[in-house]
A and B are shown apart, each in its own frame.
Chain A
Amino acid sequence: MTDRPTRRNFITGGLAAGTALAASAAAARAGGDPAITEIQDWNRYPGDGVDVRPYGAPSQYEAHVVRRSVPWLTADPISSVNFTPLHELDGIITPNGLCFERHHAGIAEIDPAMHRLMIHGLVDTPLVFTMADLMRFPRENRIYFLECAANSGMEWRGAQLNGCQYTHGMVHCVMYTGVRLRHLLEEAGIRGSAAWVMPEGADASAMSRSIPLEKALDDCLVAFRMNGEALRPEQGYPLRLVVPGWEGNMWVKWLRRIEVGDKPWHLREETSKYTDLLASGKARRFTWTMDVKSVITSPSPQAPVTHGKGRMVVTGLAWSGAGTIKRVDVTVDGGRNWTTARIDGPSLPMALHRFYHEFDWDGSDLFLQSRAIDEAGVVQPTKDALRAARGENSIYHNNGIQTWHVAKDGVVENVEIS
């Protein structure tokens, strides 16, 4: 794809797309657009039959819509992260093949016939389940966002990565099918002194976290399907934990064990990592909830404005670990004035919400921001407000308002403004 607008070729290639549009308009005036007046191959020759694509893939013209990584972020690609291409997506459901990945020891490739889930500790009867056993519990279908605690973490000190895929793409939202963790814990019989559970993964990082029993019994799921099909290997096939509204690290993939205990374990991923250093030198621990947040996905640095003045669709995503999104406001002047955007599609608790703001662009500079308010009434803060409260070294839980500068030529940049 060489004609797709990006920041780099948009600048160096000039207004190539605009030129093409002008040529098309000229051709139309001269007697017709060849896209119409000439017979196209797909209008003449038959295409692939039904036996060619047993598991379909996107159009070849969508080949640029892929997960991308930032190699300098981590020591190697095995314990690393990539990013969902939010700027190319719409609606609230993330396609399975585009859901960002975060592994700590790569993708475990597990034979489901060899997978076991053990529940033990402060229970009456320690149990082992096969996948076949788990499929016999009552199932539930729920749509939730999963956001990495470190999403936007590179932006704590200021504007760094130029694209919402990179600044906000450690999030996805799918429909999970699974069983209530509560059913599994009650099957083993929770003892009275139990207060915490510890899920553990079967991968080589043996990912593990401490989760309060109250949350485990409330809405956690043990999921085996996403968007209707089996989990993808990179999302925990054959089994993962779903912890609605809470930081993605706790959604243990390749789930093989749940220990029930009376105290938290203070594991590596809740001491060294996923603790939030404050300016005082103290660090918050057990910062589980992902706070109210939003981002404009288009226009954005990877999705510049190529159509010139006139009607413009501003769209983006909003979400909150506290429940549904009550409202999203959009500004085009850097927060001087705000307009309430239109949320379209389902508004589900702890799921992505899609918003739109349509207006006539007069061709002047824009400073686009979005500001979400959740059902608890919490208003998404500015980055400056977060820094004033926490300093710049928290790494995690950056839900500050994002600014995109739209220049007169339609190029969009990640900026911080006064």
Chain B
Amino acid sequence: ASHGTFHLGRPATEAEIAAWDIDVRPDGTGLPAGSGTVMQGEAIYTEQCAACHGDFGEAIGRWPVLAGGYDTLTRERPVKTVGSYWPYLSTVYDYVRRAMPFGNARSLSDDDVYALTAYVLYLNDVVTDEEFELSRENFGTIRLPNEDGFVGDDREAEPAYAKAAEPCMSDCRPGKAEIVQHAAVLDVTPDAEGDD
């Protein structure tokens, strides 16, 4: 087939596109046929996910926390989870299907991913019924709590970014500078010798 101006490459086949086109958008575009329940998801989660993410999504060590953290986004140490922070459920399905479990990606069936997504909703109290079944058909009825928590990039409105403000060059601050915080006191930098 003729295409473009350089006539390079070749048309992709439908099977090739289907093999790689796995992304899902918030409006549900890209969701495959299938379904899974909270109970099914719990079994898969326990076997495939809990070793890193914890039995209740609370996480082991520094692995990501999946559940909880409500009303912490304005606190000194926010806990950003699917329930407290993520805007769209589509991202859960998309990301788990493309990249989880860590170390064995693309190993879950579409039904497995629906079941795990349902279980993550359950861990976050977005659904409370253990019999709940998530499917392509009812996916769009689920809303995550922080859907409206995001704004566009408005950095240029910040005072420091006022255009063409010529900065002070001399006698800009009174007195002598004083140290208010030392990195060396905290001492969390790896030894530069690289032997520890």
Contacts and interface: CB of A to CB of B under 8 A. Distances in A.
Interface of A: 6-9, 64, 66, 68-72, 74-75, 78-79, 104-105, 118-120, 124-130, 133-134, 136-137, 158-163, 166, 183, 186-189, 198, 200, 204-206, 208, 256-257, 259, 261, 263, 265-268, 271-272, 275, 277, 279-289, 291, 301-302, 329, 333-338, 367, 371, 373, 376-379, 381-382, 385-386, 388-390, 392-393, 397, 405, 413-418
B87 to A, nearest CB: 6
B186 A206 contact: no
B161 to A, nearest CB: 6
Contacts of B179: 405, 415-417
B160 A68 contact: no
Nearest to B27: A263
B23 A208 contact: yes
Contact of B151 (A259, A285, A379): A285
Interface string B3-42: 1111011111000110011111111000000000000000
Interface residues of B, number: 84
A200 B61 CA distance: 29
A183 B8 CA distance: 10
Nearest to B98: A206
A268 B91 contact: yes
A75 B155 contact: no
Interface in B80-97: 80, 82, 85-88, 90-91, 94-95
A127 B85 contact: no
Given A265-B23, A277-B78, A301-B183, A127 B169 contact: no
Given A105-B102, A272-B85, A188 B3 contact: yes
Contacts, number: 270
Contacts of A128: 9-12, 16
Interface in B156-196: 158-161, 163-165, 167-173, 176-184, 186-194
A204 to B, nearest CB: 4
B23 A267 contact: yes
14 contacts: A183-B6, A204-B105, A266-B25, A272-B80, A275-B150, A281-B74, A301-B183, A329-B167, A337-B169, A337-B171, A377-B163, A377-B164, A385-B159, A389-B159
Contacts of B26: 266
B4 to A, nearest CB: 3
A281 B75 CA distance: 8
Given A128-B12, A271-B88, A336-B173, A118 B17 contact: yes
A126 B10 CA distance: 8
B14 to A, nearest CB: 9
Contact of A415 (B103, B154, B171, B182): B182
Given A125-B3, A126-B17, A416-B179, A282 B149 contact: yes
Nearest to A202: B20
Contacts of B27: 263
A338 B23 contact: no
Given A263-B25, A338-B169, A367-B177, A415 B6 contact: no
A284 B153 contact: yes
Given A126-B12, A393-B78, A205 B192 contact: no
Contacts of B187: 162
Nearest to A207: B99
Nearest to B2: A125
A186 B91 contact: no
A385 B162 CA distance: 12
A136 B74 contact: no
Contacts of B149: 281-283
Q: Which 4 A-B pairs have the closest CB atoms?
A: A334-B177, A187-B4, A381-B160, A414-B183
